[in-house]
Amino acid sequence: MEMKSGKWLCSSCKKPLEEGYYFETDATGYCSKACLSHKMSWDEYLAIHDDGNGDAYWTSWSRSKTS
Task: State in angstroms the smallest separation of the CB of 1 from Zn ion.
Answer: 11
Which of 15, 49 has the CB closer to Zn ion?
Answer: 15
Binding site for Zn ion (CB under 5 A): 10, 12-13, 15, 31, 35
> DSSP string covering 1-31, please?
--EETTEEE-TTT--EESEEEEETTTTEEES
Of 54, 61, 64, nearest to 25 by C-alpha is 54
Which of 10, 56 has the CB closer to Zn ion?
Answer: 10
- Identify the DSSP state of 59: E
Task: State in angstroms the smallest separation of the CB of 44 from Zn ion.
Answer: 17
